[in-house]
Structure 1
Amino acid sequence: MTGWREEFERFLATDPNDVGCDQAMAVLHLYAELLAAGVDAAERYPGVAAHLAACEACAEATDGLLAAVRDHDLN
């Protein structure tokens, strides 16, 4: 179990631009489509990029969505 000190340190290290899970998930499909098109999605959605750098679960969801978008584009 993570102690309060570790939680507090993680909170202090959070990028202030991080939009959080809910907002990131709301535009994740657009973010993945931009990535698949070779566009700098982080430039368009810097708060989402900050969140993905900090949240392993959302980063994994992005990887899966990107794979699905790329697979769809191949078919």
Structure 2
Amino acid sequence: MSGWKEGLERFLATDPRDVGCGETMAVLHLYAELLAAGVDAAERYPGLASHLAACEPCAEDADGLLAAVAGTEEYGQ
């Protein structure tokens, strides 16, 4: 029963701006490019930022993509 209750509490605590995993994956490359350029990507994509704060798998993907984008910019590629 505790698993059900924890799931419900997590659902009720979800930020209403959260766009979900699908929408996050659709524009994550744009978000990472903005971050790498020093732009406040959360201001431009608040729903995506909200989702990344709540979804560890998507946040890990974002970190990896940002590292890749920053790495290619570092080396001028």
Q: TM-score, normalised by structure 1?
A: 0.96
Aligned pairs for 1:1-75 within 5 A: 3-75=3-75
Structure 1 unaligned segments of length 5 or more: list them: none
Instruction: Note the aligned Cα RMSD (angstroms).
Output: 0.9
Q: Deviations over 1:5-54 (max 9, x none)?
A: 00000000000000000001100000000000000000000000000000
Q: How many residues align?
A: 74
4+ residue runs over 4 A deviation: none
Structure 2 unaligned segments of length 5 or more: list them: none
Shift of residue 74 of structure 1? Answer: 1.3
SS in structure 1 of the partner of residue 68 of structure 2: helix
Q: TM-score, normalised by structure 2?
A: 0.94
